[in-house]
Structure 1
């Protein structure tokens, strides 16, 4: 398996997951043109993408969804309630309107879903399986559930939210109601919370952890990395994985899962 963020953050989110035979995108939160350019940078042709999977309906996750589906005849997969909120993406061919279901298979990828806690109608995280390999994705959640930990534990690559530095959020320019939303149970994870949660998810199978969906105002890549790295180092985990931060506007280097 291979994977990479194309963009990550409130400006737009898109993650590529693929095998030799199957290639999909999780979210499409930028323009179709920028998504195609980002795919080109990792030598993937948009015409190879076989599915678009949606975590939730916020614009930074769906901006390019409609145009990509119409232009390249790509199926869109979303939860039933999320589909009710996707009228803003324009008309989608009925045969390309797919709902998530347990046991979902797309090509040689199997997909499982789990609930996240966010102020969206029916937000989800995902785990992709190919043979013995697993890639897990959890962003846009204000708290960690036991189901989330169970789903992500031991994945070879984990894309995990580290949205804000708690002190930067408190002292930052956002109005109080927005600070409360971000730090609440249906908001976003802090660097500290992310690090503590990852301690319980990383196993001997885990090779990569990619900190994702960083706030541009209330975080920095350096703050996120050092906070999580310190937590994992204290747990004697850091030297066992590759810890990186997803760039906001650029594509993360392509990650290839190694057979253990």
Structure 2
């Protein structure tokens, strides 16, 4: 059995990640419009009928702006902590709102979703692990620094979305004011390319088939630079740089080593 993953958008202009099987799926964050999600999923051969829930990592607008319309149109439950809901100011019908607790799995069909806290300048930010069919997927973005929990969960992943937000030299020499530069690199902002690479290089499990590098800065990073940095350390893991302008391919993630090594793009008409 397999899971299927794609980044529908990744960056400060909007974030949305899809994880699912052939019957059900979830979205982690919805920072782009309902219309764009529908268009991008359709191009991948996916249907919103498979999406059963939205999980919210934190309240920043690039992660939540599309939630009210999408949740209302498709009658989706939104899993969100009370602090994130309060600080995000989301207009949601009460029956749509479902709380989650760190380290306590939420079951959505065959999918088991577990949140754990992360370092970010938000009210109650969380990363997520999604498990089903002996496959584990991690969603690790908007993280100011690596921690023991991140390292522990990363070691379990067959595939992961991992933030590689900025190149240190580009950030320091760039146009951002010093206050913003210090916020980004200050431990509760974002992971640098070097920090993300260190996590991957030192803690990559041998069965990790795909790494989607996510939330790249438009001004302080470059997709080609990131790909060149990670590829020499891939050791059989397919490296994908998620775009801030379009969806990635749809990737088939399996616990079967032979299927994982294929790493092929799947266009699933059955969705």
Q: Please confirm whether the aligned pair reaches a TM-score higher than 0.5, indicating the same fold.
A: yes
**Per-residue Cα deviation, 1:122-170 (whole angstroms, up to 9, x for no partner):** 1111010002101101000110000111012131111100000000000
Which residue matches 2:93?
93
Unaligned runs of 5+ residues in structure 2 are 258-271
Which residue matches 1:15?
17
Contact persistence 1:209–1:244 (CA under 8 A): yes
Measured after TM superposition, the shift of residue 46 of structure 1 is 1.9
Measured after TM superposition, the shift of residue 229 of structure 1 is 2.9
Question: Within the alignment, does 1:116 sit opposite 2:105 as a pair?
Answer: no
Q: Distance in 1 between matches of 2:229 and 2:132?
A: 32
Contact persistence 1:154–1:201 (CA under 8 A): no
Q: Distance in 2 between matches of 1:31 and 1:129?
A: 27
Which residue matches 1:44?
46
**SS of the residue 1:5 aligns to:** strand
**SS of the residue 1:100 aligns to:** coil
Match of 2:239 among 238, 243, 246: 243
Measured after TM superposition, the shift of residue 228 of structure 1 is 2.6
Q: Deviation above 3 Å: which 4+ runs of structure 1?
A: none
Instruction: Call closer, same or farther: CA 1:212–1:75 in 2, change over 3 Å.
Output: same
Task: Describe how 1:181-200 pairs up with structure 2 within 5 A.
Answer: 181-200=183-202
Contact persistence 1:211–1:245 (CA under 8 A): yes
Task: Describe how 1:134-145 pairs up with structure 2 within 5 A.
Answer: 134-145=136-147
Question: Within the alignment, does 1:177 sit opposite 2:179 as a pair?
Answer: yes
Q: Distance in 2 between matches of 1:109 and 1:202?
A: 23
Contact persistence 2:23–2:50 (CA under 8 A): no
Unaligned runs of 5+ residues in structure 1 are 233-237
Which residue matches 1:235?
none
Q: Distance in 2 between matches of 1:136 and 1:200?
A: 17
Contact persistence 1:149–1:200 (CA under 8 A): no
Contact persistence 2:60–2:88 (CA under 8 A): no
TM-score, normalising length: structure 2? 0.90
Match of 2:133 among 128, 131, 140: 131
Which residue matches 1:27?
29
Contact persistence 2:107–2:113 (CA under 8 A): yes
**Size of the alignment, in residue pairs?**
252
Q: Distance in 2 between matches of 1:194 and 1:177?
A: 23
Measured after TM superposition, the shift of residue 201 of structure 1 is 3.0
**SS of the residue 1:256 aligns to:** strand
